């Protein structure tokens, strides 16, 4: 039978798809719907405390996830339960996560969707919404540098598109031709804010034009359209890496979270969109085309419901976590097994700036997967010429000029780390780190504590003054970071220390802010080993011994 249909509220063109694929799409949409229905009951019974609903938006999560390969990263939001279930995460682990149990992914530290899992190639959001868009850039950059022919899909709501992170991430992806699918779920409201108060253009994809980016509008309630179009886009992007902006038109059928309700949404809108329910319409379509009969429908539903109940039992019966201070503290940083290198012979007098440049060069030679990113660091050699000549030796892939977008570049560095690469970000001046502050203190600093994901990133911070450069080119702002758990802050005073400590910072898999006082760059000199060496963090150098006792 011809699998075309216009007799429903949604027009399906399913001729190119096998019946088995259609049934799988249906099952994958039904599962998050049934889980949510159960969660709403548990919420009313007081057995769970909060819920962010994606009811009515299942076709987007499921269609995108099924269009991607298992090894390709997806960065979902709070309404994308279908991403997690379609990647087949055992349900008890998801329930355990929401109940703060050990079978979840964050050791009970965040009972929400704020987690990732390398096993399922899912990188969950942080509350601040926008930063994950730049993280997707980093994952896609790693894929491109390693010629993996993979795409990365990242989600945001239309509300999130108002954040600077969105614009920075799109711009970087476009300039660097990164294989990212930016998936915007335009569901009408950001909490209580309607689209008319969120942006002032007809469609959000119109913005793609400004970034020189391929863009599409897709009916987000039509599972066939989502799946087939995203599949086609992903296939093209794998062979020809470039970013694509996709706006999925859909609607948020419940409150922002359950407690806040939908009083501010006109009833007519709710009714119109209820008629376009992605699960009910697709089910009717499958039934009308005898791809699904009543008996199968009942069996599928019962199977999912018993799976949900069985896994809920496991999660509810799991002991609660008794917090333990040592475990909490130990998880803030990834354990780093410091490796000492001190077999050097020859020394050479170096200025502070030469010692840093020398460390960067030797580290680039040692670590094939190390990338340097910053404004004007390539041909120009950086504002202080520290990376002069690097482009010729290491090439444009690894020595990367960036647009002026501190947030997106810090986020890209995080993405590189998720994909197993190392990076150094040069802040042109430490003062400008304020434009990349959020991802540093909320993403890089907290990832290991949240879900065991390290941020193998060094952020170089040329700081300090003494040259009458005013309050925007001379701050010594290390105190902004020393109070944030999860970061390491290093601030050397001598050329010998600068080289050894920077080498250690680059080897350390944790995020390190490396402060370089500009007043020292060309004013002090010291004998520094020519060979590679390291100095451990947190151990004072003995500069002078004394026998005089202080009273």
Ligand X SMILES: Cc1ncc(C[n+]2csc(CCOP(=O)(O)OP(=O)(O)O)c2C)c(N)n1
Task: Pick from 128, 177, 301, 367 the residue near ligand X by CB under 6 A.
Answer: 128
Give the 3-state DSSP-derived string for 494-512, with helices as H, strands as E and coil as C: CHHHHHHHHHHHHHCCCCE
Minimum CB separation from ligand X for residue 155, in Å?
9
Closer by beta carbon to ligand X, 129 or else 410: 129
Stretch that binds ligand X, among 106-114, 153-161, 306-314, 521-529 (CB under 6 A): 153-161
Binding to ligand X by residue 32, rule CB under 6 A? no
Query: CA geometry: angle at 265 spanning 264 and 268, to 5°?
Result: 140
Minimum CB separation from ligand X for residue 437, in Å?
12
Binding to ligand X by residue 79, rule CB under 6 A? yes
Which segments within 440-539 are labelled E, that is strand? 457-463, 488-490, 512-517, 525-529
For residue 482, give the H/E element and its range.
Answer: helix 479-482
**3-state secondary structure at position 425:** strand
Minimum CB separation from ligand X for residue 157, in Å?
2
Stretch that binds ligand X, among 122-130, 355-363, 418-426, 527-535 (CB under 6 A): 122-130
Task: Pick from 110, 158, 277, 411 the residue near ligand X by CB under 6 A.
Answer: 158
Task: Pick from 7, 69, 88, 127 the residue near ligand X by CB under 6 A.
Answer: 127
Binding to ligand X by residue 159, rule CB under 6 A? yes
Binding to ligand X by residue 121, rule CB under 6 A? no
Binding to ligand X by residue 191, rule CB under 6 A? yes
Binding to ligand X by residue 167, rule CB under 6 A? no
Binding-site size for ligand X (CB under 6 A) equals 15
Spatial distance between the Cα atoms of 34 and 38, rounded to a whole number of angstroms: 6
Is 473 annotated in the active site?
yes
Minimum CB separation from ligand X for residue 162, in Å?
8
Closer by beta carbon to ligand X, 185 or else 331: 185
User: Tokens for 313?
Assistant: 């039992």
Stretch that binds ligand X, among 187-195, 387-395, 466-474, 485-493 (CB under 6 A): 187-195
CB atoms within 10 A of CB 325: 7
Closer by beta carbon to ligand X, 5 or else 193: 193
Tokens 């193998």, located at residue: 456
Closer by beta carbon to ligand X, 256 or else 398: 256
User: Tokens for 370?
Assistant: 């190390």
Binding to ligand X by residue 187, rule CB under 6 A? yes
- Provide the sign of the torsion angle of the four alpha carbons 170, 172, 173, 177, taken in this order: positive
Binding to ligand X by residue 138, rule CB under 6 A? no
- Site pattern 223..262 for ligand X (x: CB under 6 A): -----------------------------x---x------
Spatial distance between the Cα atoms of 145 and 141, rounded to a whole number of angstroms: 6
Spatial distance between the Cα atoms of 245 and 507, rounded to a whole number of angstroms: 36
Stretch that binds ligand X, among 186-194, 217-225, 227-235, 455-463 (CB under 6 A): 186-194
Stretch that binds ligand X, among 81-89, 103-111, 173-181, 182-190 (CB under 6 A): 182-190
Pairing of strands 180-186, 152-157: parallel
Transcribe 214-282 into DSSP letters. Answer: EEEEEETT-HHHHHHHHHHHHHHHHHS---EEEEEE----S-SSGGG-STTS-HHHHHHHHTT-HHHHH
| Sheet containing strand 214-219, strands side by side | 116-117, 122-123, 74-75, 152-157, 180-186, 244-249, 214-219
Which position among 114, 167, 473, 517 bears the catalytic label?
Answer: 473
Instruction: Please report, as ranges, the residues that interact with ligand X according to CB under 6 A.
Output: 79, 127-129, 157-160, 185, 187, 189-191, 252, 256
- Positions annotated as catalytic residues are 473
């Amino acid at each position: 039978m011809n699998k075309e249909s216009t007799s429903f509220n949604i027009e399906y063109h399913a001729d190119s798809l096998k019946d088995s694929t259609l049934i799988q799409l249906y099952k994958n949409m039904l599962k998050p719907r049934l889980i949510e229905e159960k969660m709403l009951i548990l919420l009313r019974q007081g057995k769970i405390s909060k819920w962010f609903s994606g009811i009515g938006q299942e076709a987007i999560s499921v269609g995108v996830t099924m269009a991607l390969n298992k090894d390709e990263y997806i960065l979902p939001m709070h309404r994308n339960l279908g991403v997690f279930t379609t990647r087949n995460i055992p349900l008890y682990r998801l329930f355990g996560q929401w109940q703060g149990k050990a079978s979840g992914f964050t050791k009970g530290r965040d009972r929400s969707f704020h987690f990732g899992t390398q096993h399922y190639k899912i990188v969950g959001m942080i509350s601040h919404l926008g930063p994950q868009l730049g993280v997707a850039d980093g994952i896609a950059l790693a894929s491109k540098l390693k010629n993996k022919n993979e795409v990365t899909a990242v989600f945001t709501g239309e509300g999130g598109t108002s954040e600077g992170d969105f614009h920075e991430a799109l711009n970087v992806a476009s300039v660097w031709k990164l294989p990212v699918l930016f998936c915007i779920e335009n569901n009408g409201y950001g909490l209580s804010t309607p689209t008319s108060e969120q942006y002032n253009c007809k469609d959000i994809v119109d913005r793609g034009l400004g970034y020189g980016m391929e863009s599409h509008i897709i009916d987000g309630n039509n599972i066939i359209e989502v799946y087939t179009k995203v599949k086609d886009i992903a296939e093209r992007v794998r062979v020809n890496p470039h970013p694509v902006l996709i706006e999925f038109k859909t609607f948020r059928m419940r409150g922002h979270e359950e407690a806040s309700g939908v009083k501010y949404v006109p009833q007519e809108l709710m009714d119109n969109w209820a008629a376009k329910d992605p699960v009910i319409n697709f089910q009717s379509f499958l039934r009308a085309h005898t791809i699904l009969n009543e008996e199968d429908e009942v069996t599928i539903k019962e199977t999912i419901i018993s799976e949900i109940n069985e896994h809920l039992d496991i999660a509810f019966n799991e002991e609660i976590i008794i917090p333990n201070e040592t475990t909490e503290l130990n998880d803030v940083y990834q354990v780093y097994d410091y490796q000492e290198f001190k077999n050097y012979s020859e020394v050479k007098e170096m200025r502070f700036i030469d010692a840093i440049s020398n460390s960067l060069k030797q580290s680039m030679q040692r670590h094939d997967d190390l990338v340097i990113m910053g404004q004007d660091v390539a041909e120009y050699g950086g504002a202080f010429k520290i990376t002069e000549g690097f482009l010729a030796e290491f090439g444009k892939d690894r020595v990367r000029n960036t647009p002026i977008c501190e947030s997106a570049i810090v986020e890209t560095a995080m993405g590189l780390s998720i994909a197993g690469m190392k990076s150094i970000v040069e802040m042109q001046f430490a003062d400008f780190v304020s434009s990349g502050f959020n991802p540093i203190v909320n993403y890089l600093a907290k990832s290991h504590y949240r879900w065991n994901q390290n941020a193998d990133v060094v952020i170089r911070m040329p700081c300090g003054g003494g040259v009458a450069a005013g309050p925007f080119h001379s701050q010594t702002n290390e105190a902004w970071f020393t109070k944030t758990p999860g970061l390491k802050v290093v601030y050397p005073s001598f050329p010998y220390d600068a080289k050894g400590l920077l080498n250690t910072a680059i080897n350390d898999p944790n995020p390190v802010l490396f402060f370089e006082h500009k007043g020292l760059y060309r004013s002090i000199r010291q004998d520094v080993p020519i060979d590679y060496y390291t100095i451990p963090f947190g151990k004072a150098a003995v500069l002078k011994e004394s026998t005089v006792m202080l009273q």
